[in-house]
Structures are given as C-alpha cells and as structure tokens.
C-alpha cells in the first residue's frame, strides 16, 4: 500500500474515532443548553458527572447512559422506574419521587445524600418524566447541597431546562437552599428504594375525603395530630402521582397549597396550648382549597 493510501486510511479511522467520542463524550458543567442524546429527548449538566433529563424509554437510551459512564439513575418521577431494564445494562436505580411543590427539608437531605453516595461510584443521571421541572429542581438541590453550585447558578440551569415559573415551590426551595454540612449528610438513612409503587389518584382522593369526614364528625377539641398527619401524607402522595403530568401547573400548585394547610393543621394540633378556633380555621381553609381545586380540575 502506498503512503498516500495509508494516510487516507489513518484519516478515516481518526474521523470515525472522533465521531464515537462525540457521541458519548460527557456534557460538561455548567451546561448552556440541553443536549439530545440517542434515546433521550434532553440531557442537561449541573455538574461534570451529574446530569438531569428525560425518562429513558428504550434500549438505545440505556446504552447511551452506560456509554457515558453513568452508574446510578435517580428518578424523582411519580411512576415506577424500569429497574429490570436498568439492571440489564449495568445500572442501578434510586427512586425518590417528589412533587411539583416545595421540596421538604427531609427530601432535600435524602436527595443530597443519595447524590453524594452515587457520585462516589460514578456519573449520575437524574430524571423525571419530560426532563424540565422536577429533575432540574432535584439536580439543583443536589448540587447546591453538595456545594458545587450557588442557588443562583443552579436556578440558571433550571431556566435553561425550561422549568416552569409556575412551579413556585420548586424555585423557592432552590433559592433558599444552602450547602449541607457533611455531618448532616452522613446522618441520613441510606434506605434508598429502587422503586416506590404509586397510589392511584382516585383512591387517594377518596381516602382524603374520608379523613376530612372524620374531622367533621368530631368536635374540634377531640381532633388528633395523627389525623392531620394522615391527611398531609395523602396530599404528599397525590403530589407525586404520575397522573399529575396530564394536569396544568395550577393543579400541582393547588395540591401543594392543600398539603401546606394539612401540615399546618398537624402542627397546630400538636401544640400543647392549641386553640380549637385556630384549628377550625385551618381546616376550613383546607376544605376551601379542596373545593376550589375540584371545581377547576375535576374530570
């Protein structure tokens, strides 16, 4: 073979190698635009080895994540993740479903602890359903909590991900976020589930109505904190139900407001010097919120 021929083959081989590298090269942080990858609608960097994006739906998506070096997926979607498909591609899942509302302090701690441990094993991919809202907020909480980004920088990434301004709870959570001391991260329980079964929205709504009826059947002086805690838990589960994807942002905000009222009721009933009048007022606000939500969004 002539020198010209050998050089031509070498150039072709180099070109093919560059194409392969481009296909799987990590998206460096901070990303300036979401990237589409084979099998994934969008993928956005919040850190050199922590990305967020859309739900993996195909074998092509799993292969893309594996080739990028991802070893852990953290789903914050309400739907159960495909653990079997992930495992078959050498990936593991952590499922920490969250709502479109305020991310509670406990949820923040678990997200940061999960990211901390997972990043020690390799790159991490955080996803919700579409890759716009919840996963971006979760990635923001993780990177701010671990000290990789400031709240302002993290919110800039959320803007690039097109996180809706309507989800004020997500934005407020990140705005108020601060780095977590490592001693606090280490105290978080590591019982991270691979998959959490969702509760049906109709069943949850029925259970919530039963809980409200129980309150109305009793005198305010007999109300117990556990009753309000049950109501708050129901609304928290409703917030992460996969069916919420088919509703407008106003529905998620209404659920968040209702949960806050239930949480406030629990705190009031737990007070040693509680006043029945205040508890009654909170319950009335909660019922008003439920009624308004039903009128606007019931199908």
Indicate if the pLDDT at residue 67 is higher than 50. yes
Indicate if the pLDDT at residue 221 is higher than 50. yes
CATH class (in words) of the domain with range 201-297: mainly alpha
Stretch 131-156: mean pLDDT, rounded?
Answer: 96
CATH hierarchy code of domain 3-186: 3.90.190.10
Cis? peptide before 30, omega within 30° of 0: yes
Total H helices, total E strands in the chain = 12, 6
CA distances from 230 to 58, 90, 226, 236 (A): 38, 38, 6, 10
Indicate if the pLDDT at residue 26 is higher than 70. no
Fold match, 3-186 / 201-297: no
Share above pLDDT 90 across residues of the chain, in percent, rounded to a whole number:
45
185 conformational bin, left if phi > 0, alpha if psi -120 to 50, beta if neither = alpha
Domain-wise residue ranges, the chain: 3-186, 201-297
Greater pLDDT, 82 or 164: 82
Alpha-carbon gap, residue 43 to 45, rounded angstroms: 7
pLDDT band at 1 (very low <50, low <70, confident <90, very high): low
* Helix or strand (DSSP H, E) at 53: strand 50-53
What is the predicted pLDDT for the residue at 299? Answer: 60
Per the confidence metrics, is the pTM higher than 0.85? no
pLDDT band at 194 (very low <50, low <70, confident <90, very high): very high
Per-residue pLDDT tens over the stretch 236-277: 878 777 777 778 888 888 888 888 899 899 889 988 888 879
Chain-wide mean pLDDT for the chain?
Answer: 85
Which residue's entry shows tokens 């606000």? 285
């Amino acid at each position: 073979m002539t020198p010209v021929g050998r050089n031509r083959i070498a150039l072709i081989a180099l070109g093919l190698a560059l194409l392969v590298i481009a296909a799987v090269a990590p998206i460096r942080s901070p990303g300036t635009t979401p990237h589409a990858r084979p099998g994934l609608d969008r993928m956005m960097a919040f850190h050199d080895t922590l990305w967020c994006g859309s739900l993996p739906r195909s074998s092509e998506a799993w292969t893309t994540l594996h080739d990028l070096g991802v070893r852990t997926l953290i789903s914050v979607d309400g739907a159960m993740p495909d653990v079997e498909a992930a495992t078959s591609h050498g990936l593991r899942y952590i499922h920490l479903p969250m709502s479109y509302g305020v991310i509670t302090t406990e949820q923040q701690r678990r997200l940061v602890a999960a990211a901390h441990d997972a990043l020690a094993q390799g790159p991490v991919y955080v996803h919700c359903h579409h890759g716009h809202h919840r996963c971006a907020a979760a990635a923001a909480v993780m990177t701010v909590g671990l000290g990789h980004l400031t709240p302002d920088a993290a919110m800039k990434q959320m803007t690039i991900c097109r996180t809706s301004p309507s989800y004020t709870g997500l934005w407020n959570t990140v705005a108020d976020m601060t780095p977590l001391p490592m001693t606090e991260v280490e105290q978080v329980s590591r019982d991270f589930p691979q998959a959490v079964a969702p509760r049906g929205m109709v069943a949850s709504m029925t259970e919530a109505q039963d809980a409200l009826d129980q309150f109305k059947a009793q005198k305010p002086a007999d109300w117990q904190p556990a009753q309000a805690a049950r109501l708050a838990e129901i609304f928290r589960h409703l917030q992460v139900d996969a069916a919420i994807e088919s509703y407008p942002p106003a529905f998620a905000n209404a659920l968040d407001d209702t949960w806050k009222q239930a949480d406030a009721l629990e705190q009031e009933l737990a007070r040693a010097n509680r006043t029945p009048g205040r508890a009654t007022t909170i319950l009335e606000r909660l019922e008003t919120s439920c009624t308004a939500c039903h009128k606007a969004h019931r199908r």
